A and B are shown apart, each in its own frame.
Chain A
Amino acid sequence: RKEVEQDPGPFNVPEGATVAFNCTYSNSASQSFFWYRQDCRKEPKLLMSVYSSGNEDGRFTAQLNRASQYISLLIRDSKLSDSATYLCVVPWPSGGYNKLIFGAGTRLAVHP
């Protein structure tokens, strides 16, 4: 099983749609989780962090299910500017420190 798995997409949705991305991870010791957004040929930028069951920031909601080792990102009222790749990121405990393990990303294309 891969350390972090995401649906690669692409998800093609119209403006105003609600879209959800899923991510599963294999290390039950991981405590915190992140969603990063990456535009084409740019660096990843932190979108949201999740430490408990969930987190909400405007149109974005991240949810965590530790029992199922599953994280989701929900985007409501999609905008054209939301078009990007969304990376699920899991800090991997190793020798007292954490390294970030990235999923391969889910591509979102929002069209008019």
Chain B
Amino acid sequence: DAGVTQSPTHLIKTRGQQVTLRCSPKSGHDTVSWYQQALGQGPQFIFQYYEEEERQRGNFPDRFSGHQFPNYSSELNVNALLLGDSALYLCASSFDLKRERQRALRDTQYFGPGTRLTVL
């Protein structure tokens, strides 16, 4: 049973550039969430995708955008990179809240290994 996978593992970009990060969810999961984790902080929610649509978003600017594909995989795009965008970007997958009636499984998210982005 494949877990959540992310690519690439590391990335170095310069200010102003654009970056695309990729995520494949755990087998059987249909919901993908993205998080940004700065050094010494907990992960911060960016947005969540379900049925190829963004259904909720955290406090991140429009420079952060995403996409979900029919096979449930997802991309995170960041435009006009700033130095402050340097962080670990985590993807997490889960079952849809409405579909999963078992309380023990609702809300449980499984994380991929992350992509470490450095902006110079």
Interface residues of A, Cβ cutoff 8 Å to B: 4, 32, 34, 41-46, 49, 51, 87, 91, 94-105
Contacts and interface: CB of A to CB of B under 8 A. Distances in A.
Interface stretch (B11-19, B77-85, B102-110): B102-110
23 contacts: A34-B107, A34-B108, A41-B116, A43-B111, A43-B114, A44-B43, A46-B108, A46-B109, A49-B108, A51-B104, A87-B42, A87-B43, A95-B56, A98-B106, A99-B33, A99-B45, A100-B35, A100-B45, A100-B109, A101-B45, A102-B35, A102-B43, A104-B42
A104 B58 contact: no
Interface residues of B, number: 28
Nearest to B92: A100
Given A43-B90, A49-B104, A97-B55, A104 B33 contact: no
Contacts of A49: 104, 108
A32 B113 CA distance: 24
Contacts, number: 63
The 4 A-B residue pairs whose C-beta atoms are closest, nearest first, are A102-B42, A43-B111, A91-B107, A104-B42
Given A46-B110, A91-B107, A97 B45 contact: no
B25 interface: no
A94 B107 CA distance: 13
B48 interface: yes
B48 A99 contact: yes
B43 A94 contact: no
B112 interface: yes
B7 interface: no
Given A43-B112, A43-B114, A94-B56, 13 more contacts: A34-B107, A42-B113, A43-B90, A44-B111, A46-B108, A51-B104, A87-B42, A98-B106, A99-B45, A100-B43, A102-B43, A103-B42, A104-B41
Given A104-B42, A105-B42, A98 B107 contact: yes
A98 B108 CA distance: 10
Contacts of A95: 55-56
Q: A42, A46, A87, A98: which has the most chain B beta carbons within 10 Å?
A: A98
A66 B84 CA distance: 36
